Amino acid sequence: MLKIVSGAQTGVDRAALDAGLKRNVPCGGWCPAGRKAEDGTIPEFYPVEELADGGYSERTKKNVQDSDGTVIIYFGQLSGGTEETLRYCLDENKPYLLLDGFEVNAGRAAERIMEFRTMSQAGILNFAGPRASSEPRAYEYTTRAVEKFLELHGNGNR
């Protein structure tokens, strides 16, 4: 069974959750204490759990640990929390997929996510990438890629 998780930050995280929720795919993940995000408090309709006494870094690590694989979307180069996600994947020996939104269109990204899920047998897919303030294209790109992935996947019911 497929489950989409993220930290519910603006940008990539919320786009993945929004695409999953729209298609009734189980969603979740960990968020910082206080449901903190760059735009204020993460809305309650996002089914993420607060990490008691945890901030962004702790949330990122916990989402990597609790997932079967992580899809890391970036644009040009890894930085900040996106780069930290890759480090946690390497430290925890967890499978990951790097998708450069400048190099791979959303349709091909969806196909690569499908291939990654099949190869890694990932039931719980963590999505990570830049927040909206650092990459304005992140939300739209991720939404298109995840929606297309879910179409390929059969609406998440496989």
What values do phi and psi take at 149, rounded to 5? -60, -45
Q: What is the pLDDT of residue 154?
A: 85
The alpha-helical segments, DSSP class H, found in 23-137 are 56-65, 80-91, 106-120
pLDDT at 157 over 50: no
What does residue 68 show for φ and ψ, rounded to 5 degrees? -85, -20
pLDDT greater than 90 at residue 130: yes
% of the chain surpassing 90 pLDDT: 94
Domain membership flag for residue 19: yes
**Domain housing 148:** 3-153
Top-confidence residue, 157 or 138: 138
Q: What is the dihedral of CA 128, 130, 136, 139, to 10 degrees?
A: 10
Instruction: State the total domains in the chain.
Output: 1
CATH number of 142's domain: 3.40.50.450
Average of pLDDT values for 66-95?
97
Cβ partners under 8 Å of residue 94, min gap 6: 64, 65, 67, 68, 69, 70, 88
Q: What mean pLDDT do residues 127-140 have? A: 97
Instruction: Give just the sign of the alpha carbon dihedral 107, 140, 25, 82.
Output: positive
Q: How confident is the model at residue 155, as a pLDDT?
A: 56
Count other C-beta atoms under 10 Å from residue 95's C-beta.
16
Query: pTM for this structure?
Result: 0.95
Which residues, in sequence order, are CB contacts of 157 under 8 Å at separation 6+? none
**Predicted local confidence at residue 150, as pLDDT:** 97
Is position 158 within any domain? no
User: Across residues 78-106, what is the average pLDDT?
Assistant: 97
Instruction: Establish if 91 belongs to a structural domain.
Output: yes
